[in-house]
Amino acid sequence: MSARRRSLSDISYIAVTGGLAALALAILVGPVIIVLLTSLTDNRSLKFPPTGLSFQWYEQLFDAARSRQIHRAASNSLEVAAWATAASTLFGTMAALALARSRSPWARATDAVFMSPMILPGLAFGLAALMYFTLMGFRPSLNLIVIGHAIVIVPLVLRTTTASLAQLDISLLECSASLGASRFYTFRRVTLPIIAPGIIAGAFLAFMASLDNVPISLFLSSPRTDMLPIRLWGMMESTLDVRVAAVSGVMIVAVLALMLVMDRLVGLTRRIRD
């Protein structure tokens, strides 16, 4: 009787956990599949399910004449993401090196300051950034968007680099110092090669977060600094242009390919988990 009761309990547990896993998978993957199918529709507006399949919207998307504004917005977003990623990688790595092994109160306070952009609501931070830069006399521009994005994405680099530093054996640094190596030489030949995968993984996550950032771009952009998320938002509100789905499809495929490459090179999934 107890064995039968245990068997029923195991079956119920598997059924419940399997059902919840399937539901979570459907919630996560379902929207992606819907967007991809919608981008292949032959309708003239966003509609699901599509009545037919066609690549016409991808052809229009890559047409420089028809999609000039989208290309300009995409160029601005890529430029901002590149500069913001470079800045956040530099400052995030320096912060991780300074804070990783420190147990002092100021180190914990500084770490909390670096992580605060991930806690604050994005819209609140974007509005605060706009008010701050306006009081300083600056007008919305790509440079301000780069600064805003860099502040928001620094925690991503900080966390992955800190995880890599946790795997660094301190005896390696002591051996290098005992052999007469300078701190910079030890960092370049010992520390940096070990933490490089964490830095690269953080830079990848930071680039993706900057490219898809809406709140900062919304408040700090101007008509001359059109950003891709804002451009797609406007197209959705005004015309329900199917090219919005086509852009999403391109981004989904590109991000999936980059994630596979990054996971292969630096173990991105493991470092996010750590």
Q: Is residue 11 part of a domain?
A: no
Helix 228-238 crosses helix 243-266 at what angle (to 10 degrees)? 150
Q: Is residue 1 part of a domain?
A: no
Q: Is residue 73 part of a domain?
A: yes
Q: Is residue 225 part of a domain?
A: yes
Q: Could you give the CA distance from residue 134 to residue 145 in angstroms, rounded to a whole number?
A: 13
Domain that holds residue 89: 66-273
Output the pLDDT for position 98.
81
Output the pLDDT for position 165.
82
Structural Rg of the chain based on CA atoms: 23
CB atoms within 10 A of CB 74: 21
CATH classification at residue 132? 1.10.3720.10
Output the pLDDT for position 84.
93
Q: Is residue 121 part of a domain?
A: yes
Per the structure, the count of domains in the chain is 1
Query: Strand pairing partners for 53?
Result: 41
Q: Is residue 56 part of a domain?
A: no
The answer to whether 81 and 213 have CB atoms below 8 angstroms apart is: no
Q: Is residue 89 part of a domain?
A: yes
Query: Would you state the torsion angle of the CA atoms of residues 91, 96, 99, 102, taken in this order, to the nearest 10 degrees?
Result: -160
Output the pLDDT for position 268.
56
Tokens representing 222 are: 């101007």
Whether pTM > 0.85 for this model: the answer is no
pLDDT tens for the chain, 274 residues: list them.
455 555 666 677 777 788 888 888 888 888 888 888 888 887 777 777 777 788 888 888 888 888 888 888 888 899 999 999 999 999 988 888 887 776 777 777 777 777 777 777 788 888 888 888 888 888 888 888 999 899 889 988 888 888 888 777 777 777 777 777 777 877 778 788 888 888 888 888 899 888 888 888 888 887 778 888 888 888 877 777 778 888 888 888 888 888 787 777 666 555 555 5
Query: Would you state the torsion angle of the CA atoms of residues 166, 171, 177, 179, taken in this order, to the nearest 10 degrees?
Result: -140
Q: Is residue 19 part of a domain?
A: no
Tokens representing 96 are: 């991780």
Measured CA distances, 74 to 81, 132, 160, 203, 231 (Å): 10, 27, 27, 19, 9
3-state secondary structure the chain: CHHHHHHHHHHHHHHHHHHHHHHHHHHHHHHHHHHHHHHCECCCCCCCCCCCECCHHHHHHCCCCCCHHHHHHHHHHHHHHHHHHHHHHHHHHHHHHHHCCCCCHHHHHHHHHHHHHHHCCHHHHHHHHHHHHHHCCCCCCHHHHHHHHHHHHHHHHHHHHHHHHHCCCHHHHHHHHHCCCCHHHHHHHHHHHHHHHHHHHHHHHHHHHHHCCCHHHHHHCCCCCCCHHHHHHHHHHHCCCCHHHHHHHHHHHHHHHHHHHHHHHHCHHHHHHC
Nearest to 53 by CA among 250, 242, 248: 242
